[in-house]
Structure 1
């Protein structure tokens, strides 16, 4: 399989500290350098030719480390493949996802037992904000002990944001699917609001931080939809089939904003 190497312009720009390169190009070349020895050798030659001071500093440091490394015992290399789940979610997400599942099951039990008004489906009422809680937990500074390390790696941009979001939806959507089927709620009635709220959380997260966006949207949903619905025992228009086009439009807008502002997720502020 042929490998497409980084261009001379990108290699030389990266050797000068990223001068003249946009954020996407810096991210791409760093990800490529992890796997391509040819480009690493080209980068080394470019640093020696274009930035002799940096090359001299590296040689000085290496000359001091090499004698020590020669007499230091090294640990045997173990070939162990990383767990697939570790690439998609963090340990901090597990209790939050478990809580989301428990809340969904409780809502299902309330629906099946007929608790409250029969005109209001608890599964339908909580479905839009359930994945938002998991997404917020996946990007919480306070919950993730490896936050600074994760947020500073070259691949911590939109790619990692979407991976963690997908892991949340992979847990929440099947549970909601079972709950919706058991209570007779149409799939579109809970799935579109669920996806729309998730995309809107990510879109606002690029501005105010994912966690803050999730908290704000959950609070708005509770005040505008949940409280009036429980007070009047009538399903709000937002949860009826007539509101589905609006949810589809919100999903499209949120997705468009996320794509247009994909560079915003490479900065620490998007993880607040």
Structure 2
């Protein structure tokens, strides 16, 4: 709806305060009204007929404000800046530092394994899939972000905000893992596909139970699955072998499809997860 105007029927329902408007449509209308003066004018003209009490309240507020506004000095002009708050949160700063430390430790451990005659890259491979999951959880955790309640209540909250912050997580994490993988000789496809599969899986499951809970569930499942497979196959990196990569690609596609199909789920959970 960012490039189209609000349909008349939907605008009328919004002006009337219809509680039956779906959450994703309500979000789209309010986000569009922020930047479209034409639709705001249409809504203003609808108010007297659709919601006369609201129109009377607005007129009363303007009647009290206009004299004060006319007598106020104009504010000095400021250069418009794009806020990073739409992409980042304060909680992501310590997470980025933690990710760097984990990557460095993984490289150190792999160097020790290689020096002992074992294959390198094991620690990097095992850490790479779950690092973005932890970052996504940190970027949308109510306890970690002091502004979470205010952000979650805005019209732009929900899946679009979660996707922006997920992209910021990946932009921070992937270069770190690229350097760690190049240092230890790990093939990028071995960790990138599982990394993306875990990320889309977190978003897909997050639409049902909340992003933080989804991240915790997947990290716990990974922590249990890796030792179990290692005990069975004798290889710690068994789930990350090249012949298993098509499975990770399929999981990534399924996760992305679920995210798209249930895109309204993040809007419904935005204020409470």
TM beyond 0.5: yes
Instruction: Note the 1:19-98 alignment, pairs <5 A.
Output: 21-66=21-66, 69-70=68-69, 76-98=75-97
Shift of the 269–87 alpha-carbon distance from structure 1 to 2, 3 Å rule, reads: closer
Instruction: Note the 1:100-119 alignment, pairs <5 A.
Output: 100-114=99-113, 118-119=118-119
Instruction: Note the 1:10-25 alignment, pairs <5 A.
Output: 10-18=10-18, 21-25=21-25
Give yes or no for contact 1:100–1:133 (8 Å, CA) kept in 2. Answer: no
Deviates further, 192-201 or 27-36: 27-36
Gaps of 5+ in 1: none
Aligned to 2:220: 219
Shift of the 234–116 alpha-carbon distance from structure 1 to 2, 3 Å rule, reads: farther
Shift of the 200–6 alpha-carbon distance from structure 1 to 2, 3 Å rule, reads: same
Deviates further, 193-202 or 227-236: 227-236
For residues 182 and 36 of structure 2, the distance between their equivalents in structure 1, rounded to whole angstroms, comes to 49
Shift of the 19–271 alpha-carbon distance from structure 1 to 2, 3 Å rule, reads: closer
Shift of the 137–117 alpha-carbon distance from structure 1 to 2, 3 Å rule, reads: farther
Aligned to 2:172: 171
For residues 123 and 231 of structure 2, the distance between their equivalents in structure 1, rounded to whole angstroms, comes to 10
**Structure 1 position 265 matched with structure 2 position 262:** no
Gaps of 5+ in 2: none
For residues 88 and 272 of structure 2, the distance between their equivalents in structure 1, rounded to whole angstroms, comes to 14
Give yes or no for contact 2:16–2:50 (8 Å, CA) kept in 1. Answer: yes
SS of equivalent residue, structure 1 residue 267: helix
